[in-house]
């Protein structure tokens, strides 16, 4: 039979990254992959999570029942305290728990976007967010920028031109670029958002993985003193474990009210069991100490990776040292197409993700993203030896 | 500021049932509520779930990592086997795991429904499904029916008139009516679905709670030998526990492909941890024996409830004995408005859900739904004593 699907399915895209991941997997397990975005399993607080679940089970059978759509209140209270330390004021009732921050992005898109609405994003930007925006038949327009964030001039031009529904940004250790916006650019964005009555979706899954303690990266949501403009989402997938699938979102009350209402239709609620376990984990374990450990370790991972890149000619490869997060973004010589190069590189038993798929327009073919969190430093060494050798050989 | 929400938000409805639940909660914990749809906690396989999670943690840190969007393959294999016993052929790759069956309903709606598309449903029907359909700006049209299911004549008339995208049905122990469709009506529906090139969404969260072992209720999906017409969704919320939030869906390959693709944008994946735990639970525990125990117990609950109703005059209240599921649906004398009556009944310390909110059109004001699974038989006795007394008193 011929199926009569919704119009929006025409906008569905297969993730280019998933296709590349499939290509890498086919090559077999010998390949050291810097392509994904997974945290390193070795650092997972395995014992602590096990004990947290024991606590939940000890608390009785009621813990296995349905919960409330917005989530387990004691966990929302803890998150409210955590964001306060970042300068964001959000009462527990103003925290909505989601199935990862991906669901927060999706639910927000669902209440905001009608067909042909515009979303402004960085270029390149996080691909799965673009997938969500486009699935509601929105148009995604890239704003140009540099290492400090979006260019306010180009942003203002595009705000005027497109009257977007919102601006999507990952200002702290972004995916894919791993960059961090300057304070000035953050403020400029917020001022323009006020001026043009446009919401900001600030996605902050990596913010806690900050390599330089002495630096301060104020969330844009913390600058939004009127609490009218910024929807802020975070996740425990990178700092605790991904498999709990716990993210959360806060923002202006009318936005949260709609998001909570539509979450009811979307999946009724995320797992109350996992939310309770995370609550016990956070009360029994020093999560901040764990994050400090993680950050210290990931800095070592990044340094190992970077040291190998430094052996290459600056004309061949250039990058800005990541100040946190999970990714190192590199430019290679403009004569090189990293998508074409990947096939050759794979033959050397190592993989990266070409940068092109992350662009919403004008893809830069000479870019690539390297993940430094998923592999051990030892594996990173081997992988980078292969990568640098393959680079040099491919360019002969 | 004034927020520019998506057009679809105009269609969002606050659940009338949730409002009533709030009203009941305000009355305090002395109220015995037959209003909700929760299973009885006392029967939860608490120890078995605890052990299942221990198994997951024993399996190593990898169990805490990201998984695949369609879900944990070994669990999909077990579900494939389970549905085979119901006559449905679905390979493991044809099973998509979701966050409860609510997410299956939502994802299917998302790939099918453009604004003004029509969905045909029973009338009354499951409210949260209607919420999902309407959130995509679809129109929901009720098909008339009787105790055996939808009236094929009215169904054909409405298929011609509306060319709906799909027909949504809960043919086995429906919510709210607790009824079970006859084999003949199931076949008639499927034939009409073929004839008018319309998909069927068969929602079967209650099918396993079947009171009379000797009877056979063939899923419509099992009759769809071409596997072209029926999307079938099930859940472990009623048979294991709700807090795992594990549902699943199977159906024609092009439908599943789109649903899996959009799940990636919706929440990337449901909790891989919970999926692994359910897998171990199902391999270590005899789930069918557990379901038989549940069924036997819930039959007792239902019988206790029904025995009290039998003390009332047949002119005052009538119902069809539920053959399974979680709900007893009753008609009271046509002079009685059950929404108005509820306030008085609540003063007696007992609650039900008026039937009117479940109707998509022509609400019958003299109907009500009683849940018999959430309370113990002892509590049901007390509640029903209050309810029958309150009924008689209110009608003086």
Q: Which residues of chain A does B135 touch, with a Cβ-Cβ cutoff of 8 Å?
A: 110, 262, 265
What percent of chain A is modeled with pLDDT above 90? 89
| Bond before A176 cis per omega within 30 degrees | yes
Q: Which residue does chain B place closest to A117, by CA atoms?
A: B6
Cα nearest neighbour of A104 on chain B: B267
Q: In what order do the strands lie in the sheet with B96-99?
A: B96-99, B246-250, B230-235, B199-203, B166-169, B118-122, B139-143
Averaged pLDDT, B30-59: 96
Beta strands in chain A (DSSP E): 32-33, 96-99, 118-122, 139-143, 145-146, 149-150, 166-169, 199-203, 230-235, 246-250, 317-319, 327-332, 350-351, 353-354, 367-371
Q: What is the pLDDT of residue B27?
A: 80
Residues B279 and B300 in one domain: no
B272 → closest Cβ in A197, A243, A268: A243
Same domain as B279, residue B304: no
Residues B266 and B313 in one domain: no
DSSP string, B229-288: SEEEEEESTTTT-GGG-EEEEE--HHHHHHHHHHHHHHHS-S-HHHHHHHHHHHHHS-HH
Nearest chain B CA: its distance from A234 CA (Å) = 14
Q: What is the DSSP letter of B313?
A: -
Q: Which of A7, A159, A201, A243 to probe by mutation at the B interface, max B CB count within 10 Å?
A: A243
- Please, what sign has the CA dihedral across residues A202, A207, A212, A218? positive
Q: For residue B133, tell me if it sits in a domain.
A: yes
Contacts of residue A106 in chain B, CB cutoff 8 Å?
Answer: 265-267
Write out the two tokens for B154. Answer: 């009215």
Pick B128's closest partner by Cβ from A102, A265, A273. Answer: A265
d(CA A116, CA A200): 18
* Centroid of chain to Cα A46: 23
On whether both B230 and B270 belong to a single domain, the answer is yes
Residue A347 C-alpha, separation from nearest chain B C-alpha, in angstroms: 26
Q: Do A252 and B49 touch (CB under 8 A)?
A: no
DSSP one-letter string for B17-86: HHHHHHHHHHT-TTSEE--S-PPPGGGS-HHHHHHHHHHHHHT-GGGGS---TT--HHHHHHHHHHHHTT
What six digits make up the tokens of B166? 């799909």
Asked if A268 lies within 8 A of B128 by C-beta distance, the reply is: yes
Q: Residue A260 and residue A71: Cα distance in Å, rounded? A: 10
Is residue B266 included in any domain, yes or no? yes
Which among B131, B243, B254 has CB closest to A264?
A: B131
Q: Using the beta-carbon criterion (under 8 Å), do B271 and A237 form an inter-chain contact?
A: no
Q: Which residues of B touch A66 (CB under 8 A)?
A: 38, 237, 242-243
Please compute, for residue B311, the number of CA atoms within 13 A of its CA located in the half-sphere on the CB side. 14
Q: Are A173 and A261 in the same domain?
A: yes
**Could you tell me if A30 and A90 lie in one domain?**
no
Residues A94-109 as b or e (16 or more Cβ within 10 Å = b): bbbbbbbbbbbbbbbb
**Residue pLDDT, tens place only, B65-108:** 999 999 999 999 999 999 999 999 999 999 999 999 999 999 99
Residue at which a domain ends, from A227, A262, A284: A284
The answer to whether the Cβ–Cβ distance between A9 and B242 falls below 8 Å is no
User: In whole angstroms, what is the distance from residue A43 CA to residue A296 CA?
Assistant: 11
User: Where does the pLDDT of residue B22 fall: very low under 50, low under 70, confident under 90, or very high at 90 and above?
Assistant: confident
Edge-first strand order for the sheet with A327-332 is A317-319, A327-332, A367-371, A353-354
Per DSSP bridges, beta strands B32-33 and B96-99 are: unpaired
pLDDT band for position B159 (cuts 50, 70, 90): very high
| Residue among B4, B5, B268 whose CB faces A128 most closely | B268
Partner-chain contact A245 B265, CB within 8 Å = no
Give the helix/strand (H/E) hosting B353. strand B353-354
Question: Across the interface, do A4 and B197 touch by the CB < 8 Å criterion?
Answer: yes
Q: How far is A317 from chain B, CA to nearest CA, in Å?
A: 31
A111-164 per-position pLDDT tens digit: 999 999 999 999 999 999 999 999 999 999 999 999 999 999 999 999 999 999
Q: How far apart are CA B73 and CA B67, in angstroms?
A: 10
Chain B hits for A374, Cβ within 8 Å: none
Q: Cβ contacts (< 8 Å) between B15 and chain A: which residues?
A: 264
* Same domain (yes/no): A236, A305: no
* H or E stretch at A364: none
Structure tokens at A314: 């600056």
Q: Which helix (H) or strand (E) is A306 found in, with range?
A: helix A287-310
The DSSP line for B100-118 is HHHHHHHHHHHHHPPTT-E
* Per-residue 3-state assignment (H helix, E strand, C coil) for A68-79: CCCCCHHHHHHH
Cα A60 to Cα A70: distance, rounded to the nearest angstrom: 22
B134 part of a folded domain = yes
Strands in B367-371's sheet, in edge-to-edge order, are B317-319, B327-332, B367-371, B353-354
A81 with A187, same domain: the answer is yes
The answer to whether residues A236 and A88 belong to one domain is: yes
Cβ separation of A65 and B1 shorter than 8 Å? no
A-chain residues near B243 (CB < 8 A): 63-67, 271-273
Does residue B375 surpass a pLDDT of 70? yes
What are the DSSP E strand ranges found in A158-281?
Answer: 166-169, 199-203, 230-235, 246-250
pLDDT of residue B343: 86
pLDDT score for A396: 65
Q: Residue A354 pairs with which residues in a beta bridge? A: A368
Series of mean pLDDT values for 10-residue runs along chain A (396 residues): 91 79 80 93 98 98 95 98 96 98 98 98 96 97 97 98 98 96 98 97 97 96 96 98 98 97 97 98 98 98 97 92 98 92 90 95 96 97 95 78
**pLDDT band at B169; cut points 50, 70, 90:** very high
Full residue range of the structural domain in which residue B60 is found: 47-284
Residues of chain A neighbouring B245 (CB-CB closer than 8 A): 267-273
Lookup: tokens for B215: 């009877």
Q: Is residue A145 part of a domain?
A: yes
| DSSP class per residue in B114-182 | PTT-EEEEESS--HHHHHHHHHTT-EEEEE-EETTEE-HHHHHHHHHHH--SEEEE--BS-TTT--B--
- Two structure tokens written together for A165: 């529904």
Residue linked to tokens 């305000």: B26
Residue A161 sits in a domain of what CATH number? 3.40.640.10
Q: How does strand A317-319 pair with strand A327-332?
A: antiparallel
What does the alpha-carbon distance between residue B375 and residue B33 come to, in Å, rounded to a whole number? 8
Which pair of structure tokens corresponds to residue A327? 């990714």
Tokens 């198994």 found at: B55
| CATH label of the domain that carries residue A383 | 3.90.1150.10
Kindly determine whether residue A266 and residue B98, on different chains, have CB atoms separated by under 8 Å: no
The answer to whether residues B204 and B340 belong to one domain is no
Among residues A252, A284, A316, the one where a domain terminates is: A284
CB A368 within 8 A of CB A337: no
Task: Say yes or no: B51 and B13 in one domain.
Answer: no
Q: Give the number of domains in chain A.
A: 2
Provide, as residue numbers in chain A, all residues whose Cβ is less than 8 Å from the Cβ of B228: 1
Q: Domain for residue B92, yes or no? A: yes
**Residues B149, B241: one domain?**
yes
> Is residue B140 situated within a structural domain?
yes
Q: Which chain B positions have a beta carbon within 8 Å of A67's beta carbon?
A: 243
CB B49, CB A22: distance < 8 Å:
no
The band of B396, judged by pLDDT with boundaries at 50, 70 and 90, is low
Question: In terms of CA atoms, which chain B residue is nearest residue A116?
Answer: B6
pLDDT higher than 90, residue B249: yes
Is the preceding omega at residue B124 within 30 degrees of 0, hence cis? yes
Taking one residue from A and the other from B, the number of pairs with CB-CB distance under 8 angstroms is: 226
**Domain final residue pick, B284, B303, B324:** B284
Does residue B2 sit within a domain?
Answer: no
Q: Enumerate the residues of chain B whose CB falls inside 8 A of the CB of residue A3.
A: 199, 252, 254-255
Chain-chain contact of A102 with B265 (C-beta, under 8 angstroms) = yes
pLDDT band at B14 (very low <50, low <70, confident <90, very high): confident
**Pairing relation of β-strands A327-332 and B149-150?**
unpaired
Question: Could you say which of B111, B228, B267 has the minimum Cβ distance to residue A103?
Answer: B267
CB contact under 8 A, A64 and B41: yes
Could you tell me if residue A7 is inside a domain? no
């Amino acid at each position: 039979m011929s199926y009569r699907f919704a119009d929006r399915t025409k906008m569905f895209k297969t993730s280019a990254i998933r296709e590349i991941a499939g290509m890498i997997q086919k090559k077999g397990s010998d390949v050291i992959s810097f392509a994904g975005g997974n945290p390193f399993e070795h650092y997972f607080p395995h014992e602590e999570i096990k004990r947290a679940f024991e606590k939940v089970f000890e608390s009785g059978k009621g813990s296995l029942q349905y919960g409330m759509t917005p989530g387990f209140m004691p966990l929302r209270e803890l998150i409210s305290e955590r964001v306060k330390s970042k300068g964001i004021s959000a009462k527990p009732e103003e925290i909505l728990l989601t199935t990862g921050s991906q669901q927060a992005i999706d639910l927000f898109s669902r209440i905001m976007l009608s067909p042909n609405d515009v979303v402004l994003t960085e270029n390149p930007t996080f691909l799965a967010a673009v997938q969500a925006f486009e699935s509601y038949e929105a148009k995604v327009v890239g704003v140009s920028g540099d290492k400090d964030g979006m260019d306010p001039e180009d942003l203002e031009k595009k705000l005027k031109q497109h009257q977007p529904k919102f601006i999507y940004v990952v200002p702290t250790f972004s995916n894919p670029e791993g960059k961090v916006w300057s304070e000035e650019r953050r403020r400029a964005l917020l001022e323009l958002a006020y001026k043009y009555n446009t919401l900001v979706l600030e996605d902050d899954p990596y913010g806690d993985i900050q390599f330089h303690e002495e630096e301060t990266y104020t969330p844009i949501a913390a600058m939004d003193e009127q609490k009218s403009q910024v929807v802020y989402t975070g996740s425990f997938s990178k700092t605790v474990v991904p498999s709990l699938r716990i993210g959360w979102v806060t923002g202006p009350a009318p936005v949260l009210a709609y998001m909570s209402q539509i979450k009811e239709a979307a999946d009724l609620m995320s797992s109350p069991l996992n939310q309770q376990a995370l609550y016990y984990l956070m009360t029994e374990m020093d999560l901040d100490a764990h994050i400090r450990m993680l950050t210290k370790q990931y800095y070592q991972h990044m340094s190992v990776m970077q040291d190998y890149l430094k052996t290459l000619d600056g004309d061949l490869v250039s990058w800005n040292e990541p100040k946190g997060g999970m990714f190192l973004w590199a430019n290679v010589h403009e004569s090189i197409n990293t998508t074409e190069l990947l096939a050759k590189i794979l033959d050397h038993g190592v993989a990266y993700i070409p940068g092109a798929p992350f662009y919403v327009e004008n893809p830069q073919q000479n870019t690539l993203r390297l993940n430094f969190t998923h592999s051990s430093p030892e594996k990173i060494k081997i992988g980078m030896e292969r990568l640098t050798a393959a680079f040099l050989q491919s360019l002969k």
